[in-house]
Amino acid sequence: MWLFDKGKNIWSIDNYVYVVNGYLNSQEDRIQQIFKIDASTREIVKQIELTGPQIDLVIIWPGGYCITSDQHILLTGEWRDYTNTRMRTFIAKLDKDLNMVWINYYPDLFEFHVYGDAIAETPSGDILLYLTEGKPVSPSEPWHTAEGWIRIIKTDATGNLLLNKVIPDTFFQTVGYGHLARTDEGNYLLTSIVIGYYYHWLYGTYRYNAIVHKIDEDANPIWSRMVNYNKYLRQDPTATALPGGGGAVMWSRDTFTPDPNIAFEFNELHRIDTEGHTLWRHEWNDVSIRKVYRIITAANGDILGCGVYQKDGGKGKTWLFRATVGGEILWERHYSDSIQRPWSPLLEMLDLCELADGRIAATGIVYDTNAVGSLNPNVGVLLVGTDGCLEPGCTGVTQYITGVFEPLAQSTPLPQLRCSPNPASSLVSVKLPAVPTNVNTQQTLRAYNAQGIMIAEFPWAHASETQQIVVSDWPPGVYQLLFWAERKPLFSGKIIVQR
């Protein structure tokens, strides 16, 4: 895409994997694509694009989705309200064929910035949304927050608000940026970070710390535990619930050095009981930069994790591991480019999932280049066996993925139509970013629903910059507009119809 691609979320339903790609358009709005991929043929069977009320929208990584009991997809994240200079949240529900069931944007629910961190379905079918809320630093820095806190909202199955509650600070300035996992007993584990609890006299700065919280379905706190300390660079903790109660929590920590810039990171995986106490701990401490981004629970109760590992002059490898609930590391695999180009990371898997047959899929960023070394970030999808092998019967830790030099490829998104009002209920004014010149064919504006079906076509007068269209008979939902001339689309836009 225009600036970069980033594969950041992945899940599976039946024999399909679904991958979210986030990219920036030419106006630096965040746009989200979702791909449905056949895991057997690697064929992309469907692709959709999601934008917000004012174009910008992001599905949060990596906890911004969950699969419901009836195999629908819930998504959350954030969108920019440029009119009021605020970050807003949303909840979207899609079916497994990526058709939009409904989407709620909650434009008036909060006074300050809110970021949707994670989402879960309750046993009764309600929706629990984990948010970070924060105050703007100042009018001159409206998009940056000075302090933050955790907020939980609960909605019914169609997104109507049932509960809106702040989780009280157990530690100074607890903020979110974590995960949400439902336990067997019907409660929820939240991971978060805390800023300012520990001031390092030698570094002269406050440090980051990882926290795990336990709440019930109505957002009542049960306990909070600090699970690490003394972190110079922010690395969000990740957690997963395990069968029989309790869960696993993992994060990256720094070593102590006089100069924080040369500290290296190591990882600790903790198995915790229902009260948050550590039952066992496994540490990766190999004098390298090693990060973990996500852990999940496999169907048999094992713990699966993914991240990035940098060593040997900065060359980057992605890594996956599998551990039992008893603390045994069954395997650890590193996936590396066969060319071994001198930058890092080349492969960086950010999220993973398990398929119904036990295979493991992961997605993230793959950097390729042209012959002179210009970086080109792309979406990468990795599919391995239950043992982490690319090919059956592999041995050793490192798995090589064939790398080749490729020409630098970029594509430019279509310029954006300006639609007002948006959302709308009856009339919409559509403005072109520029009036086409030297056009000899008919100009039309076409509207497509969330399934990609054209539902309306409007003739467009030549040399006209603005035109009104009637949407009063359209069902509520999100629609894509394409302006066609010379037998091709020139401009695109999105409108939301609400009643």
In a domain, 93, yes or no: yes
In a domain, 387, yes or no: yes
Give the model confidence (pLDDT) of 432-450 as tens digits.
998 887 776 678 898 877 6
Give the model confidence (pLDDT) of 272-324 as tens digits.
999 999 999 998 876 667 788 899 999 999 999 998 876 654 456 788 999 99
Are residues 41 and 86 located together in one domain of the fold?
yes
pLDDT value at position 306?
Answer: 93
Which of the listed residues 401, 430, 461 is the one where a domain comes to its end? Answer: 401
In a domain, 412, yes or no: no
Which of the listed residues 401, 436, 462 is the one where a domain comes to its end? Answer: 401
Residue burial 482-496, b: 16+ Cβ < 10 Å; e: rest: bbbbeeeebbbbbbb
pLDDT value at position 371?
Answer: 39
Are residues 394 and 431 located together in one domain of the fold?
no
Return the SS3 of 162.
strand
Give the model confidence (pLDDT) of 57-84 as tens digits.
999 988 899 999 999 999 999 999 988 8
In a domain, 413, yes or no: no
Are residues 432 and 391 located together in one domain of the fold?
no
CATH code assigned at 171:
2.130.10.10
Are residues 452 and 335 located together in one domain of the fold?
no
Note whether 255 and 263 are within 8 A (CB): yes
pLDDT value at position 452?
Answer: 55
Are residues 192 and 266 located together in one domain of the fold?
yes
Are residues 466 and 383 located together in one domain of the fold?
no
CATH code assigned at 442:
2.60.40.3080
In whole angstroms, what is the distance from residue 119 CA to residue 101 CA?
17
Our count of domains for the chain comes to 2
Is 0.85 topped by the overall pTM? no
What does the pLDDT average to over 93-108? 94
Are residues 373 and 489 located together in one domain of the fold?
no
260 DSSP assignment? G
What does the pLDDT average to over 239-256? 83
Number of helices (H), then strands (E), belonging to the chain: the values are 0, 38
Lowest mean pLDDT, pick from 182-196, 311-325, 333-347 = 333-347
Are residues 226 and 373 located together in one domain of the fold?
yes
In a domain, 327, yes or no: yes
Are residues 237 and 308 located together in one domain of the fold?
yes
In a domain, 411, yes or no: no
* Whether residue 475 has pLDDT greater than 80: yes
Q: Who has greater pLDDT, 468 or 485?
A: 468
pLDDT value at position 366?
Answer: 76
In a domain, 409, yes or no: no
E strands, 98-170, are 100-104, 113-121, 127-138, 141-155, 161-167
In a domain, 59, yes or no: yes
Which of the listed residues 354, 373, 401 is the one where a domain comes to its end? Answer: 401
Are residues 16 and 154 located together in one domain of the fold?
yes
Residues with Cβ within 8 Å of 211's Cβ and at least 6 positions away in sequence, in order, are 170, 171, 174, 191, 192, 193, 194, 224, 225, 226, 227, 237
* Whether residue 369 has pLDDT greater than 70: no
* Whether residue 125 has pLDDT greater than 80: yes
* Whether residue 203 has pLDDT greater than 50: no
Are residues 188 and 337 located together in one domain of the fold?
yes
Are residues 423 and 388 located together in one domain of the fold?
no
**Residue 351 lies in domain:** 5-401
